[in-house]
């Protein structure tokens, strides 16, 4: 059969490299074909999710930044300073977390989605027009965020004015000053040329970008067991590949950004300067519980247990 797989980025971006590896594994080990639909070919992230739920797509990569509006628990990834900051810590967490590999699986299933993998895409930085080193410096600054209520709460707690927008409106919004900043991993700042429309890049250390790949559940449930296993194996091969691919990717992206724009101002907040941003996490965590109730509380508990196990590694 031909399986359709859409994602939110270009073929050469992290989600595209992941999808290409999946396709390669499927096609090398079966008679199936995977047709890839990069960002822009089928609409925005919300559009491809609808198409996957309707069964028009068999596979979709949608980041929790957008899924959070559909599945409130997915917003857990926007509690700042929660995920491990090292590559190895992240890898251990995503490979072994029960919250990710068991709890989230059943939550997504309730929405007709077979969650196959979650993986990190890189350290998130904030790019703005003006420099800041404290929440006060973000006062009145409109920062674009993905369309997710908890991310809005995060940026409020950071002292900014969050503006949720689909990806397609970000470059133009920065150009016309409707927004004055945005957050994303470094590879994306480089490939989407965010350095053309913002002048300062700030390392706050508050997050790593998480994404998720899933299948339409009816489609997946009806696959013969052998094909289900093939899909899981291909996902595992893609995960292994993407973790290696990402080693040093942020550093390489930073070099490319500075080649394109040598006067891009790079600010790394010190541990002391990060303190008020870290303090905001508590408030955001409380909001998460408010939005998700007891199931959210249990998920967070498991999530933290898994994080501790990753840190102990």
Residues in contact with ligand 6CS by the rule CB under 6 A: 8-9, 45, 63, 121, 146, 167, 184-185, 188, 209
**Minimal distance, residue 42 CB to ligand 6CS, in Å:** 13
SS3 for 9? coil
Cβ(190)–Cβ(256) under 8 Å?
yes
**Minimal distance, residue 129 CB to ligand 6CS, in Å:** 18
Q: Which two tokens stand for residue 96?
A: 């072994």
**Minimal distance, residue 146 CB to ligand 6CS, in Å:** 5
- Residue 193 or 218 having the CB closest to ligand 6CS: 193
Cβ(223)–Cβ(32) under 8 Å?
no
Cβ(166)–Cβ(69) under 8 Å?
no
SS3 for 217? helix
**Minimal distance, residue 118 CB to ligand 6CS, in Å:** 14
**Minimal distance, residue 193 CB to ligand 6CS, in Å:** 13
- Residue 63 or 154 having the CB closest to ligand 6CS: 63
How big is the CA angle at 97 (ends 94 and 101), to the nearest 5 degrees?
Answer: 85
Q: Which two tokens stand for residue 127?
A: 């790019």
Q: Which residues contact 51 (CB under 8 A, 6 or more apart)?
A: 6, 42, 43, 57, 60
**Minimal distance, residue 121 CB to ligand 6CS, in Å:** 6
- Residue 26 or 146 having the CB closest to ligand 6CS: 146
**Minimal distance, residue 59 CB to ligand 6CS, in Å:** 16
CA–chain centroid gap for 59, Å, is 17
**Minimal distance, residue 313 CB to ligand 6CS, in Å:** 26
CA-CA distance, 74 to 46, in Å (whole number)? 15
Where are the alpha helices (H) located in 110-177, listed in sequence order? 149-157, 170-175
Q: Provide the angle, in degrees to the nearest 10, between the axes of the packed helices 225-245 and 14-29.
A: 140
- Residue 176 to residues 139, 170, 180, 181, 202: CA-CA distances in angstroms? 19, 10, 9, 12, 21
CA-CA distance, 311 to 93, in Å (whole number)? 9
- Residue 66 or 303 having the CB closest to ligand 6CS: 66
- Residue 3 or 209 having the CB closest to ligand 6CS: 209
The beta-strand segments (E) located in the chain are: 2-6, 33-37, 59-61, 113-128, 142-145, 161-164, 181-185, 200-203, 208-216, 265-268
**Minimal distance, residue 183 CB to ligand 6CS, in Å:** 8
């Amino acid at each position: 059969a031909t399986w359709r797989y859409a994602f939110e980025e270009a073929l050469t971006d992290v989600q595209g490299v992941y999808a290409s590896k999946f396709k390669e594994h499927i096609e090398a080990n079966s008679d199936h074909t995977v047709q890839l639909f990069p960002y822009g070919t089928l609409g925005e992230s919300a559009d491809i999710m609808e198409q996957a739920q309707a069964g028009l797509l068999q596979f979709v990569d949608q980041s929790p930044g957008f899924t959070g509006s559909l599945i409130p628990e997915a917003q857990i990834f926007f509690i700042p300073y929660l995920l491990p900051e090292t590559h190895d810590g992240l890898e251990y967490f995503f490979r072994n977390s029960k919250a990710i590999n068991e709890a989230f699986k059943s939550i997504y299933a309730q929405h007709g989605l077979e969650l196959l993998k979650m993986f990190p895409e890189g350290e998130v930085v904030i790019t703005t027009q003006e420099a800041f080193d404290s929440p006060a410096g973000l006062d009145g600054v409109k920062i674009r965020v993905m369309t997710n209520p908890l991310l809005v709460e995060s940026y409020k707690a950071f002292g900014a004015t969050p503006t949720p927008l689909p990806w397609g409106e970000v470059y133009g919004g920065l150009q016309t000053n409707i927004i004055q900043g945005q957050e994303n991993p470094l590879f994306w700042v480089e490939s989407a040329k965010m350095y053309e429309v913002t002048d300062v890049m700030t390392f706050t250390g508050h997050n790593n970008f998480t994404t998720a790949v899933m299948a339409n559940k009816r489609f997946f449930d009806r696959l013969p067991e052998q094909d289900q296993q093939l899909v899981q194996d291909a996902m595992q091969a893609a995960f292994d590949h993407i973790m290696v691919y990402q080693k040093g990717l942020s550093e390489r992206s930073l070099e490319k950004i500075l080649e394109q724009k040598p006067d891009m101002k790079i600010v790394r907040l010190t541990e002391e300067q990060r303190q008020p941003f870290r303090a905001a996490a508590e408030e955001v965590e409380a909001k998460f519980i408010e939005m998700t109730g007891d199931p959210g509380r249990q998920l967070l508990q498991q999530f933290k247990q898994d994080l501790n196990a990753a840190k102990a590694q």
